[in-house]
Structure formats: structure tokens, C-alpha cells
Structure 1
Amino acid sequence: MSGRPRVVLVEDDTTVAAVVAQYLRADDYDVVVHTDGAAAAEALRTGLPDVLVVDRMLPGVSGDELCALVRARSDIPVLMLTARGSVEERIEGLETGADDYLTKPFAMRELQLRVRALLRRRLPSDSSAVFTTGPFRVDPVRRRVWSDGREVVLTAREYDLLVHFARRAGEAVTRDDLLREVWGWTFGDAATVTVHVRRLREKIEPDPRFPRYLRTVWGAGYRFVPEGDVRAVD
């Protein structure tokens, strides 16, 4: 990324939008604010930011629709804001393709940290060499993945998850480990991990119902098996 990272904030509550924008600008982000979902959709069709922060419950064009619009074109990080705090509501938001969420009311410091973590994971890792694990070829600099020569289009979070699993192949990795090491959270909802693992399986498994590479370890978490495993789980 060159210059200041660009954040598009879509929030119809003008007071909340003003405060959030102020805190993000204090972190040296170039912040563009939209208070209308339709206007935001038009702007996103012509140019994408480094991070999208979007209220889920927008009138007209919803946050879910904006997330889907972005996901059809890009893997940029999406942070969803929601006033609905139930696990089901959060899972629905993640299912649209969001990488992270915050439930209102939230601490502005937490918002800053979440955006910072999403941007940090967009940077190339210290280990930049292309590597192969099982049928997967991973290019850390370009953040691209191929399976048996076919490119697999992943979101930023899905890519981070796959690389983390690949670097710990054969190990049982707990959901708490993933929240801490992939999301950068010291605490959080394990359902977040479950949703993203399911989405990742849909893209890398021949049959997501019977995972061969990304297996469930009952009572522990998950294990990545590069050579494949045909035993049925879940």
C-alpha cells in the first residue's frame, strides 16, 4: 500500500459516522464517509478502498448487499458494524463475506485496533517464498493460491486461515488459537472461526461435506492434512 490507507465508512447515523471517521483519521487513514447505501454502492463500483467499514442495517442498499458487491470483485477486508448482537445475526453477517464484525455500542479504540489488524494482514508476510503443500501452491507476496493448477479465489481472511493451517500442517489448531493468531483477538466468538472455516472448505475441498484437507478434530479444533484424508467428518 502506498500513502495513507483508504477506508470507506458507510454508516447512516451521521453522529456515529462523524465520531468513527474522526477516530480513524486520528490513526492516519484517508477516510471517505457515505451515509447512504445506494451512493456507497455507486462509489464502490468505480473504486475500492483498502478497508470497507459498513453498517449492516442500512436503509435501501443494505450492508449485506454492499459486502456482496465488494466480494464479487475483490478480497479487500470488510468490517461489519451491527446493532444486533445475537450469535445468529453475527453469523449471518459473516456469511455475506465480512472478515470481521463489531456489535454496537463498541469502544472506538477497539474499532481502531480491528481496522489496524485487517490492514496488517494485507501486507506480505516475512516469509515471501512461494511454497507448495499437498495440491496447493501459495504465493505469499501476491496472496494468491492455486489447487492442482487452478486458482482458488479467497478473501483476505480465508487466505490468512489457509496459510496459517498450511504452516502448521498436521497439528491440531484450536479455535482460540485461530482467533488469537489469525484474527489478532485476545477473546472472541468461536462461531466466527466456524463460519470462515466453512467458507474456506467450500473453496478448497472437492466435497465440503466430507473434508479431505481441513479436518475437524473433535473437542479441539481443526487439523490441516495436505496429503488429503477421505474419512468423512461433520
Structure 2
Amino acid sequence: MRPHLALIEDDPDFALMCRSYLERAGFTVTWAMDARAGKSVLHESGVDLAVLDLGLPDGSGLELLRALRSTSRLPVIVVSGRGAEADRVAGLEIGADDYLVKPFSQRELVARIHAVLRRSQPPDAPTVVRAGALTIDTAARQASVDGIPLALRPKEFALLELLAGAPGRVFSADQLLERIWGASWQQPATVVEHVYRLRGKLGALPAPAPRITTLRGYGYRLDP
């Protein structure tokens, strides 16, 4: 089946060019010109991924993304002329799966879409991952330790899920950046910050929790 994309973009020339190229690349595309129409499209059944512009005439694309993330894990690629690091980080922290800065090639957009779809639908992924007292429900996007829920941001959840899927295995910062953020422009400090926050949340639990161990010069591992 052809993957169904929601393209939320207010520039008609750019949107028509994207839609034409994406349809030739094998996608079905539904185009929305503003946040209101985009919200309606995003809640339709059968949409596999959204391509979302941040500068919409009737609202912020970030706010639309924030609202979507409160109810859905639909993959989202943000496209924007805002290339500052703060803008990119904000989009990814709210829950974008990738961030493309305009101008970009249509070929790169197609490659990013395929990559995000692959990451969002891992083959034969277990529904529940356990590592010691830690339990991760990958379908419900929930994690808990001895039944105590963890309040995690999307990237924190993805980081913990990856480490818990292979307890004791060491992942380098570059591997974590590629698998979770899928973006070469991110700095290793991004991983350091997320590990720090995860350790704080695990350490604040009343029950003994798995530890994230740093191996200097190598990377990180989860010790149940």
C-alpha cells in the first residue's frame, strides 16, 4: 500500500512542488494550507506521517505538534525556514521525529520520510521490554519501575527504550544520535543532557531502579 502523508504547508507553490514529487515517489498526499485544516487531516484515520511547516497563517506549527503529541505518536517531520539551533531543538523536544531546514532537496525529503517510517515501525518489535525492575510498554509509550510510572519526554522515552532493549550493551553517543534523533547536526551534548535527565528521574524513584552507566570514551549502557 502507498503510505499516506499529511502535508501541512501554507506556501502553495512549495506545497504543490512537494506533493507532485512525493506522489511520483509512491506516496498518497493530503495537503492542508493552515493549522485548522491540518488538525482535521491529522486526526483522519490512515495517515502514516505528517510533514509540518512551522509558519502557518492561523497558528504555530509547534502548537499543532504539541496538541498532536498529547494524543498520538504519529511520525512528524518538521520543515521550516527557521534554522537556528533553538528552533530545531524546540521542535525535536516537543516531539518531531525529524527537522528539515528550507531550502532542501525533494530527494532528501523522501529519504527522511522513509527513514522516519522505518524507525517508527520496527519489525517484530516486542510490545513490552523488561530490564530488571524496569518495564517499558512500547505500544502505550509508558515506562515504569516496580509499577511506579516514569514521566518521560518523547526523546527520553526513546533513549530509555533503546538502552533497555539491550541491557549491558554499550552505545556510543554517535549511535544514539543516529538511532534516536536521526540527525547528524546534533551534538553529543544532546545525549549527555538526556542521560542526565533520565538518571535524575530514575534516581528519584523510591524503588531501586536500573542505572545508566557511562564508559568514558565508549558510551552508555543500562545496568538492570
TM-score range, shorter chain: 0.7 to 0.9
1:189 and 2:186 aligned: yes
Residue 79 to residue 216, structure 1, CA distance change in 2 (3 Å): farther
- What is the rounded CA distance, in whole Å, between the counterparts of 1:29 and 1:151 in structure 2? 38
Tell me if structure 2 keeps the 8 A contact 1:76–1:155: no
Aligned to 1:64, which of 62, 65, 72?
62
- What is the rounded CA distance, in whole Å, between the counterparts of 1:104 and 1:55 in structure 2? 10
Matches within 5 A, 1:140-219: 142=139, 144-147=141-144, 148-149=146-147, 160-183=158-181, 187-190=184-187, 193-194=190-191, 197=194, 201=198, 205=202, 207=204, 213-214=211-212
What's the offset of the Cα at 1:35?
A: 1.1
- What is the rounded CA distance, in whole Å, between the counterparts of 1:8 and 1:121 in structure 2? 18
Letter in 1 for 2:84: S
Residue in structure 1 matched with residue 41 of structure 2 by the alignment: 43
What's the offset of the Cα at 1:10?
A: 0.5
- What is the rounded CA distance, in whole Å, between the counterparts of 2:135 and 2:149 in structure 1? 9
Residue in structure 2 matched with residue 17 of structure 1 by the alignment: 15
What's the offset of the Cα at 1:173?
A: 2.3
Tell me if structure 2 keeps the 8 A contact 1:158–1:196: no
Tell me if structure 1 keeps the 8 A contact 2:195–2:212: no
Q: What is the CA RMSD across the aligned residues, in angstroms?
A: 3.6
Taking structure 1 as the reference length, what is the TM-score of the superposition?
A: 0.75
Tell me if structure 2 keeps the 8 A contact 1:68–1:96: yes
Residue 72 to residue 143, structure 1, CA distance change in 2 (3 Å): closer
Matches within 5 A, 1:118-157: 118-126=116-124, 128=126, 130-138=128-136, 142=139, 144-147=141-144, 148-149=146-147
Taking structure 2 as the reference length, what is the TM-score of the superposition?
A: 0.78
- What is the rounded CA distance, in whole Å, between the counterparts of 2:104 and 2:200 in structure 1? 33
Instruction: Give ranges in structure 1 of 5+ residues lacking alignment.
Output: 227-234
Q: Deviations over 1:112-170 (max 9, x none)?
A: 11111111123243454744112233456x47544134666878766553332123433
Q: Deviations over 1:63-83 (max 9, x none)?
A: 101101110111111111111
Instruction: Give ranges in structure 2 of 5+ residues lacking alignment.
Output: none
What's the offset of the Cα at 1:44?
A: 3.0
Q: What secondary structure, in the 3-state scheme, does the structure 2 residue paired with 1:9 have?
A: strand
- What is the rounded CA distance, in whole Å, between the counterparts of 2:142 and 2:159 in structure 1? 12
- What is the rounded CA distance, in whole Å, between the counterparts of 2:199 and 2:48 in structure 1? 25
Letter in 1 for 2:88: R
- What is the rounded CA distance, in whole Å, between the counterparts of 2:56 and 2:189 in structure 1? 22
Size of the alignment, in residue pairs? 220
